[in-house]
A and B are shown apart, each in its own frame.
Chain A
Amino acid sequence: MSQPFRLNKEGLINRNKKISFTFNGKKLFGYEGDTIASALIANGIHLVGRSFKYHRPRGFFGAGVEEPNAKLQVEFNGHSEPNVNATEMELVEGLSVTSQNCWPSVNFDVGAINNFLKMFFPAGFYYKTFMWPKSFWYKIYEPFIRKAAGLGVASIEKDKERYEHKFEYCDLLVTGSGPSGLASAYAAAKNGAKVILAEDKPRFGGTLLTDDVSIDNLSGKDWAEKIITELKSMPNVTVKNRSQVFGYYDHNMLVMFERVSDHLEKKSKFTPRQRLWYIRAKETILSTGSIERPIVFGNNDTPGIFLSAAAKEYMKVFGVLVGKKPLIFTNNDSAYETALEFKKNNVEPIILDTREEHSSELIDEAKSKGIDIRFSHGVIVANGYKKVKSAKIGKLNKDKNSFEKIETIECDCICVSGFWTPSVHLASQSGNKLKYEEKIDAFIPDKKKQHETSVGAANGSFTLEESLKNGFENGSNLSVKITETKTEITIPNVNEKKYGAHDKFWCMPLPKNENPKRFVDFQNDVSVSDIEIALREGYRSIEHVKRYTTLGMATDQGRTSNLNGLQLVSNIENKIVPEVGHTTFRPPFTPITIGTIVGREVGMEYMPTRKTPMHEWHEKNNAVFVDAGAWKRPRYYKQGNETLFEASKREAKNVRENVGICDVTTLGKIDIKGPDAAEFLNRVYTNAWMKLPVGKARYGLMLREDGIVMDDGTTTRISENHYHMTTTTAQAANVLSHLEYYLQIVWPELNVNVVSTTEQWAGAAIAGPKSRDMLSKLYTDLDVSNDALPFMGYKEAEFFGVPSRIFRISFSGELAYEINVKSDHGMFMWEKMMEVGKEFGNQPYGTEALSTLRIEMGHVAGPELDGRTIPSDVSLNGLVSKKKDFIGKNSLGREAFNVESRQKIVGLIPIDRKSSIPEGSHIVQDQNAKLPNPKLGHVSSSCWSVENNNPFSLAIMKDGKNMIGKKFFAVSPLKNKSIEVEVISSHYVDPEGKRVRS
């Protein structure tokens, strides 16, 4: 149970609570407050994974988001998640952690053979190798690449966790709770601004938790705690830890990923796992800090090699030593703090400093503590395969390109520091073109593009004093513009160590005849030689070098590799870094789960479900539903073991012979009112509307301005200035917007109002030869004779005490009516109809039967009005007025619309009268012709004609009307069918339309 690398007292972990977990099956324990990484290191475990390409042993490198290597497969709460960052995920009881990208085990990995074949895997290997022969691609190369690609294994189980989305607005969003972030948030909060402070880590304070500083005589950590406590008590402040702002979008919209409950052992059923925040901030403070850069040297990816600040964080936050014989390799003063921390914990470090012997506050302190410092020194190559055992170090000559002396010294870890890179990702995403700051060899934000202000280390200022001042001032100035309240704040006194200048040194040279891999990008296995190859092969743009070598393209987005890569390119190219430029930073800053992006919009919540008031009845009566947009419509009502085909045939036949009722609530309904309503309809529809009397309905056709049919439906004149328009279910929303467009923009002088009433009315169609008999029983006091209520007539009457509207309109081609009652009465109406209809053989029918009925009548619907047809294509030119102007009229004169051979609607029947014709089939002259076989048209709608008892289809066919009587083939390669068909009229049943008028 002992943890050999755990210190006795240091750290912010809770030593009173032990947490057990397993790593590759082995049972281990850590403490509450540990990450997976800190717990494993405490147990002396460094080898945790294998690298992407060469399967080299890899350990931990960082202590947070910068980690490129330690991505593990983690099982918890009954699901398995790949690529979990071990340095970020907190330890909870019962975690099962395993290594990725290795087989059979991380200790013995067969794939490591790639490491010995590395001369065969240079940059661009895949591009070069898998190009030929072409036939190898599907069977050999692709499966091979697929198997090799990726790291962990995605779960195939359904994700049972809950994810949420949240929308929030604030005056100031502060991203990061280091010194500058705390100061900004505090100043703005004191000015009364609505502030959100987001911190990625579980603990607030950033570098204040690890740096040896004091503010107003408090330690950095205590000062941070004091400020956070005060912020939390203020009603205008929201403070969030475990929350990563990962994207900066247009108009100051930022997106934040909150890890709500992954760290909890127990949580309530409704606690989400993670939450996505969409935050619209008036101003944003980017206090994202900086990330330490490595120095590149031989075998610099060996487990046991750390960033020096990470080594310090493991000691100060987790009470964990990354090694007991540390070598500190640095080009600047900040690593001396790590050395001093080791010393404080009775570990003797050796410092290798690439700078020549000189003096600074920190160097002097290290010297006075007796630490072994070797100036002009660096690590050439790390020795040890699965863990660092020793290092070959060299004393550099003055040119820093050759060695005065080389020796090997023992060590069990190397802590490397190549100075600091500001985290400018969010600033760059906001549109800020970055500028290169020579003084720190890195990019910092330039001119603002949005309301963003970078402060502290994210802006390139690396002293605490400057960061605090920067934070307080910006927080105050930005908020005072919004709140117009200013609270004076005294900037606190700061005690910190002064750093000397860093050395512009970033890559260790190699002695002659030595050629170990020197990695620039650990996660994608990109080494110095890969970049050299890319440049030798002629890649010049940094964006091309990036794609060819995959430098910086892994999930860590090159946080530790981008600048070193740039330095390398600019050195070889003999350019300065700003000329080479940088690649684009894209969201998300850190990987986020797919579940969070999707949020609650899964399963039934994927989109709203619209149900008609009669839905429950349909459900109880074995309706099988079909989606019509968001609506659920009965497709057919299943009796016994009926198939779709049998049921729809039965339902359609019953309408033709007796009577049936259909739920038509989903049709779009628009109420149109105003003195100019008639004139408006006259402009919207192709046919004449000025003379429609009150109490009459009319079928209307609507075009787009380009002459293409937009929608059709009936509109009824309810009273002098009041019309009721119906649209197809699918086009309801578009038609309303279309009408509003013309009323608001094109003809504002027309005094007309439109409003959707689709959901206000429940509708049922009664269709069939016995529908009038049934209607007379539904309205016993009403004269429903052909004279009193003729085709296209309209009446208002009470339906068993409930107000209703009766329209004599027909989609089925039979004698038919549509009854509307207020939605609340829909179920009442439906049940009454079922009751009263019994004696007439009434049966409900679904959309499948409805389609059959309209297809064999030759009535067009969505499949024919497909955004490519004009009125004459679908035999509706009789509805196009020659006398008046309307929307789209001018387009109908276009030449292509009027050529003789233009497509027209026709009917098709199979020669054998048996084979049904698949919708979407192409009509061709010769089924065996050489490809490309000229296409003469396509099958738009198909049904089994219940009237004639054989298949029948509608088709849109070139020169259609002149093809009647001729034979063709309807070919569907998708269904592997070719059916010989004869072209007939599209009106297969009752071509004169006698029934609707009967």
Chain B
Amino acid sequence: MLYIKCPYCGLRAQKEFSYGGDATVKRPNINEEVSSEDWDNFVYMRKSPRGKHIELWQHIAGCRQWIKVQRDTATHEIFQTAKVTEEIR
């Protein structure tokens, strides 16, 4: 079971979180024209990297904040966690 550091609550067990996918995907702006290709990329196309991956988790059984987690998909090592408003490099 992973041990995830919520930027608001501190280290908590994975049980308290739910996974939310790739955090680097940006939704096209509302009320703006978007090409079919850009839209399809946003809705469907995801990389499935082996190694470092920045992803979203929600602390559903805690503060209910969505957070960013940089995790190694092969080893599960977590390098960094951040608020969604913060950047992970």
Contacts and interface: CB of A to CB of B under 8 A. Distances in A.
B42 interface: yes
A252 B3 contact: yes
Interface in B44-89: 44, 56, 58, 60, 64-66, 75-76, 78, 84-85
A280 interface: yes
Interface stretch (A73-81, A145-153, A468-476, A745-753): A745-753
A251 B2 contact: yes
A741 B58 contact: yes
Contacts of A741: 20, 58, 66
Interface SS majority for chain B: loop
- Residue among A278, A449, A683, A705 having the largest count of chain B Cβ atoms under 10 Å: A705
A251 B76 contact: yes
Interface in A860-900: 884-885, 890-891, 893
A890 to B, nearest CB: 5
Contacts of B1: 249-251, 253, 278
A744 B39 contact: no
Contacts of B66: 740-741, 744-745
Given A705-B43, A737-B18, A251 B3 contact: yes
Nearest to A742: B27
A706 interface: yes
Interface in A714-749: 733, 737, 740-741, 744-748
B39 A745 contact: no
Contact of B65 (A744, A747, A891): A744
A431 interface: yes
A885 B58 contact: no
Contacts of B84: 744-745, 748
A706 B44 CA distance: 8
Contacts of A891: 39, 43
A745 B43 contact: no
Contact of B43 (A252, A706, A740, A744): A706
A424 B3 CA distance: 24
B30 A737 contact: no
A737 B13 CA distance: 19
B3 A449 contact: no
A757 to B, nearest CB: 14
Contacts of A249: 1
Contacts of B78: 251
Given A431-B75, A744-B66, A891-B39, A253 B60 contact: no
Contacts of B75: 431, 449
Contact of B30 (A250, A278, A885): A885
B1 to A, nearest CB: 5
Interface in A23-68: none
27 contacts: A167-B13, A249-B1, A250-B1, A251-B2, A251-B3, A251-B76, A251-B78, A253-B1, A253-B3, A280-B13, A431-B75, A705-B27, A705-B43, A706-B44, A733-B60, A737-B58, A740-B58, A740-B66, A745-B56, A745-B84, A746-B27, A748-B84, A884-B31, A885-B31, A890-B28, A891-B39, A893-B36
Nearest to B28: A890
Interface string A429-444: 0010000000000000
A449 B74 CA distance: 13
- Residue among B27, B34, B56, B85 having the largest count of chain A Cβ atoms under 10 Å: B27
A564 to B, nearest CB: 32
Interface string B13-32: 10000101000000110110
Nearest to B60: A737
Contacts of A683: 30
B58 A250 contact: no
Contacts of B39: 890-891
A278 B1 CA distance: 10
Interface of B: 1-3, 13, 18, 20, 27-28, 30-31, 34, 36, 39, 42-44, 56, 58, 60, 64-66, 75-76, 78, 84-85
A733 B31 CA distance: 28
Interface in A738-789: 740-741, 744-748
B85 A748 contact: yes
Interface residues of A, number: 27
A745 B25 CA distance: 11
A278 B78 CA distance: 20
A745 B65 CA distance: 10
Nearest to A884: B31
A278 B14 CA distance: 13
A740 B3 contact: no
Nearest to B32: A885
Contacts of A893: 36
A747 B64 contact: no
Nearest to B34: A890
Nearest to A893: B36
A706 B2 CA distance: 30
Contacts of A705: 27, 42-43
A250 to B, nearest CB: 5
Nearest to A890: B39
Nearest to B26: A746
Contacts of B43: 705-706, 891
Contacts of A733: 60
- Residue among A449, A745, A747, A884 having the largest count of chain B Cβ atoms under 10 Å: A745
A733 B66 CA distance: 15
A737 B19 CA distance: 11
Contacts of B28: 890
Contact of B64 (A449, A740, A746, A890): A740
Contact of B3 (A280, A431, A746, A885): A280
B30 A747 contact: yes
A68 B13 CA distance: 36
A746 B36 CA distance: 20
A200 to B, nearest CB: 23
A587 to B, nearest CB: 13
Nearest to B65: A744
Contact of A250 (B2, B31, B36): B2
A705 B27 CA distance: 10
A890 B34 CA distance: 8
Contacts of A449: 75
- Residue among A167, A737, A744 having the largest count of chain B Cβ atoms under 10 Å: A744
A595 to B, nearest CB: 21
Contacts of A885: 30-31
Contacts of A748: 84-85
A890 B65 CA distance: 27
Contacts of B85: 748
- Residue among A251, A885, A891 having the largest count of chain B Cβ atoms under 10 Å: A251
A740 B42 CA distance: 19
A425 B76 CA distance: 20
B11 to A, nearest CB: 8
- Residue among B30, B36, B75, B76 having the largest count of chain A Cβ atoms under 10 Å: B30
A352 B45 CA distance: 69
Contacts of A747: 30
Contacts of A278: 1
A259 to B, nearest CB: 23
B89 to A, nearest CB: 18
Given A249-B1, A885-B31, A891-B43, 10 more contacts: A252-B3, A280-B13, A431-B75, A705-B27, A706-B44, A741-B58, A745-B84, A885-B30, A890-B28, A890-B34
Nearest to B83: A744
- Residue among A253, A449, A890 having the largest count of chain B Cβ atoms under 10 Å: A890
A893 B18 CA distance: 31
Contacts of B60: 733, 737
Contacts of B2: 250-251
Contacts of B36: 893
A432 to B, nearest CB: 12
A689 to B, nearest CB: 14
The 3 closest A-B pairs by CB, nearest first: A251-B3, A890-B39, A250-B76
A746 B65 CA distance: 13
A284 to B, nearest CB: 14
Contacts of B64: 740
